[in-house]
Each structure stands twice: as structure tokens, then as C-alpha cells.
Structure 1
Amino acid sequence: MGHELETSTRKVILSMLKTQGSLTVHELSKQLGITEMAVRRHINTLEKENLIESKLVRQAMGRPTNMYSLTALSDELFPKKYMQLTMDLLGELLEDEGHEKIDHLFVRRQEKLESRYQTRMKAKSLEGRVAELATIQNENGYMVEWTQTGKGEFMLSEHNCPITQVANTFQQACKCELALFQNLLNAHVERTECLAKGGTKCVYMISQNK
């Protein structure tokens, strides 16, 4: 119970800094109704987690005091509606320009991703390229695992899809991801399971080009 209370208090502190801007320990203590010592304990934890930062500010009277504010990292803790915005914009584009424009948009995205990651594949074996692709996808939040299933054959599984809502409506996303993998790996890639089509994960079977 005590741990839950401490976690709750830290969430309140983050919310106060989000809505009110920079605050001192004294101001936080007064609003929270707890001692400054207790506030400092929470502040220390949040600083270690890189969620808040302090800045020494000189005052008209008295000693300089620390003002605490949120870091860029803490912004991820607050609700976002990016995906809904994306869906709305794609829906408007589909209505105004049709399926061809949507297809073109996803192909352009695929080409840019290829250009961005192609250098990371250079001078690597197929196994090395699969490992690098898994690293890239993990960096982007796909929760990837991969394993060698035979000589020159591999299985790559994505347990999370950060763009599930988009992929559920616009199958171009899945089509372009498959093409991206084929081009980056320079290999034969087959998708055998897909999150957007009711699967529990996205599974890719990879083998040398014949």
C-alpha cells in the first residue's frame, strides 16, 4: 500500500509540473500537503528516472532555489492522440484522392526507410542482416525475436505493432513492410502470420534468394 501511495504521489507531482510549469520543493510541499523532506524523496526518484530536471534560479531576496520541471522523456507518460490524427488524415486523403494516392504514400515511406537503413546492412551475411533488422524493429517498438530454423533459413517474429490501427484499415502498411524486409535483407521473405489479420504476432520466414 505504501509503495502504491508513493507511486501515486509521484504521478501527481508530474501532473502538477505538466499543468503549472516549474515549481519549487516548497510549492510542491504546500500543494501536496506533505513535508518538504517527503517531496525531496519523490523528486530524487524522478530525477534518477530522468523524468524531471532542476535549474538553480536566483531570487530577488534570499538564497537561490531549485526549480523543477519535466524532461522531454516524461512527455511520453502523458496521453497522445497521434494515431487517431494519422487515421483521420489518411481517411481524408483516401476520400479526396483515392486508393492510388494512399498506395503512393506508403511506397514513398517504404523507400525512405530503405534509404535510412540500407547502410546498416552492408557487408553483412544474411544472418547478420536478419539480426540487424531485428535491432532496427526493436528500436521502433516492434518487440522482435528471431531464430535460425535451418541452413540459411530464419524466422523473425514481431510481438507488437505500433501502427496496428493504421494496418487494420490500410493493408498497404503490411504490404510495404514485407517489401521493405525483402529489399533490406536481399532475401526471400514470406509472412505466415499477421497481427492486422487476427494473428497473435507477425511472423516472417526468411531464406536465401533462389
Structure 2
Amino acid sequence: MNQDMDISTRKVILTMLKTQGSLAVSDMAEQLGVTEMAVRRHLNTLERDGLIQARLVRQAMGRPTKLYSLTEQADDLFPKKYKHLALDLLAELIEEAGEEQVERLFERRKERLIERYQQQMDGQQLSERVKILAEIQNANGYMVEWKSEEGDRYVIDEHNCPITKVANQYKYACNCELKMFQKLLNADVERTECLAKGGSKCSYTIRNN
């Protein structure tokens, strides 16, 4: 039983790193509701198996923080497995804590992503912010194209959504992405097409406020 629980916890950690990007031990411990020592034990196993990697990030104050992320080897696990795992975990969370807790989870993910990318946007013109956002989303697997149109208007098209299965069932995921775009771009952003609603892509029209 304990071995099964350990394997399940490691799957959750891998899913967190897949959906949220690089995380510190403290971030994972808080979300899992376990001690940092317990998280480190699982990370040691995952690192030994070549599924995660660590890097030190210097802080303005205090000691450097070690952030963990998936390796390319771990990425191969997900096309067949992580969508179902994520949906199962969210369903369990709703059963245990209610749908509001799932909404809070998506909200926290949105705030974490904004915090991660905001510095790249600061001081940039809207056109540059749109370009940077497209590059970020491309790096995350969204297959993005963007263009400028007349009247200082821009369009971002996402031809792939790595979290389609989740977004199909939990529309709050799409709402959080829209809010994240609005915050990072500091602009009026409208979603005009959505993969989760049967569209051929996710399309966003962006104008200055």
C-alpha cells in the first residue's frame, strides 16, 4: 500500500511540474500538504530515474533556491498518461474539497505564471509584449502564430492546447488563460475562438486599453 501511495505521489509531482513549470520544494510541499522532507524523498527517486532535473536560482536576498523541472525523458510519459491523471486528480479534489477548490487551484497557477513572466513584459511596447507572449506560449507547446493588424491591433492564434482535455471539462482553465493574457499584456484582450468550445484554434484579439 505504501509503495502504491509513493508511486501515486510521484505521478502527482510529475503532473505539477508539467502543468506549472519549474517549482521549488516548498511549492510542491504546500500543494501536496506534506513535509518538505517527504517531497525531497520523492524528488531523489525521480532524479535518480532521470525524470527531473534541478537548477539553482539566485535570489535578491538570502540563499539560492533550487527549482525542479521535467527532463525530456519525463516529457515522453505524458502524451498518453498525464491528461487522464490530471482529470482524475481534479475529480478527486472536487469530491474532497468542492469545485471552488479547483477554481482556486487554477487561480493560483495563473498568478504563478504571471509572476514568472511579468518581468519580461515590464517597460515593453505592446507589440513587443505580444511577441514575447507568443514565444512563451510556443515554448509551452501551444503552436502560436501572431500578427499585427490595422489600428494597433494584434491577433494571437494558438493551434494546439496541451491542456485541452482539462479545459474541455473545466472551463475555468480557459478563463484563467484569458486573465493571464490581459494582465501580462496590460491590454484589452478578447478571445474570439476556443479549442475547448469546438473551434479549430484559440484566437485572441488584442488592443491597447
2:200 alignment partner, SS class: coil
Give 1:174's aligned residue. Answer: 174
Instruction: From the superposition, tell whether residues 106 and 76 of structure 1 become closer, same or farther in structure 2 (CA, over 3 Å).
Output: closer
The superposition leaves residues 10-45 of structure 1 with CA deviations (integer Å, 9 ceiling, x where unpaired) of xxxxxxxxxxxxxxxxxxxxxxxxxxxxxxxxxxxx
What is the aligned-residue RMSD (CA, Å)?
1.4
Alpha-carbon distance in 2 for matches of 1:74, 1:164: 22
Shift of 1:131: 0.3
Shift of 1:84: 1.1
2:157 alignment partner, SS class: strand
The superposition leaves residues 94-126 of structure 1 with CA deviations (integer Å, 9 ceiling, x where unpaired) of 122112111111100000000000001012100
TM-score (norm 2): 0.63
Give 1:91's aligned residue. Answer: 91
Give 1:115's aligned residue. Answer: 115
Shift of 1:81: 1.1
Alpha-carbon distance in 2 for matches of 1:96, 1:76: 29
Q: Does 1:194 align with 2:174?
A: no
Shift of 1:132: 0.3
1:156-167 matches, cutoff 5 A: 156-167=156-167
Alpha-carbon distance in 2 for matches of 1:176, 1:77: 27
Letter in 2 for 1:199: G
1:21-100 matches, cutoff 5 A: 73-77=72-76, 80-100=80-100
State the identity as a percent. 54
Give 1:5's aligned residue. Answer: none
The superposition leaves residues 148-193 of structure 1 with CA deviations (integer Å, 9 ceiling, x where unpaired) of 1122210000000000000000001000000000000000000000
Structure 1 unaligned regions, length at least 5: 1-71
2:95 alignment partner, SS class: helix
Give 1:136's aligned residue. Answer: 136
Letter in 2 for 1:171: K
Structure 2 unaligned regions, length at least 5: 1-70
1:207 alignment partner, SS class: strand
TM-score (norm 1): 0.63
Alpha-carbon distance in 1 for matches of 2:151, 2:190: 17
Instruction: Kindly tell me the number of residue pairs found equivalent between the two proteins.
Output: 138
Alpha-carbon distance in 1 for matches of 2:103, 2:74: 32
The structure number with the bigger radius of gyration is: 1
Alpha-carbon distance in 2 for matches of 1:176, 1:150: 28
Letter in 1 for 2:122: K
